[in-house]
Amino acid sequence: MAYDIRLEGKNLVNALSLLEDIAKILDKLKIDYWLEGGTLLGVRRENRLLPWDNDVDLSLMVLDGDKERELISALKKSGFRVRLRKYETDYDYCKKDDSRLIKIRKSYLFGLIKGAVCLEIFVKYKIGDKAYWKIGDVVKNVPYKFYAKTKKIEFNNYEYSVPELTDEYLTYRYGDWETPKEDYNPFKDDNALKK
């Protein structure tokens, strides 16, 4: 999503902390997740969060209601500001009011002030051999094989989950992902755009 920040200086420090804190909660709850989008790209290509990125991205396959409530509760108990975005209409792969996105920020002064850095968890749905999700007003999909298995990689002294087929996934989404593109637009340039 579009946030008016860059992951540099204090924002970078906060982004790294937020990423590790959320990954630890997901790991503790035994929820499968993976680094996503620009976060995955930066960690894989440059072993860093991309300074021109403006948020942190994770993904997970849709959780059952109890597990989702457990996650939201754990995040809030840990002091995070959590916003669960739902679908506003039915799609081929989900129904109205199904979960779409979990937005997480640190909160300060008893929740009165939200942190500048947002971590977004995209909720994905498997239909046949594809996984679907929505970003803004755009529906995306990729072959589910990219999410079927994950592996752990070390980044910034913590082990994060990534798709087992990371390089193939990045090639599918970005084409020549090894060449930095600061002007990449996820609403136009992503090969996961639903056709």
Q: Which residues pair with 113 in a beta bridge?
A: 108
DSSP category for residue 138:
E
Residue 13 has pLDDT above 80, yes or no: yes
Rounded to whole angstroms, how far apart are CA atoms 195 and 193? 6
Model confidence pLDDT, tens digit, residues 119-147: 999 999 999 999 999 998 899 999 999 99
User: Look-up: residue for tokens 């204090």?
Assistant: 10
Read off the pLDDT of each residue in 33-51 and give the average, rounded to a whole number: 97
Q: Are 29 and 102 in contact (CB under 8 A)?
A: no
- Both tokens of residue 5? 């920040």
- Both tokens of residue 169? 């996934």
Residue 66 has pLDDT above 80, yes or no: yes
Does the predicted TM-score (pTM) go above 0.85?
yes
At residue 106, the 3 state secondary structure works out as strand
Read off the pLDDT of each residue in 98-111 and give the average, rounded to a whole number: 83
What is the distance in angstroms between the CA of the first residue and the CA of the last residue of the chain?
Answer: 21
Considering only residues 35 and 53, tell me which one the structure prediction assigns the higher pLDDT.
Answer: 35
- Both tokens of residue 9? 């200086």
User: Look-up: residue for tokens 């990954």?
Assistant: 23
Q: Are strands 56-61 and 119-127 parallel, antiparallel or unpaired?
A: parallel
CA torsion 125→40→178→9, rounded to 10°?
Answer: 140
Delineate the domains of the chain, giving CATH numbers in brackets: 9-174 (3.30.460)
**Arithmetic mean of pLDDT over the chain:** 92
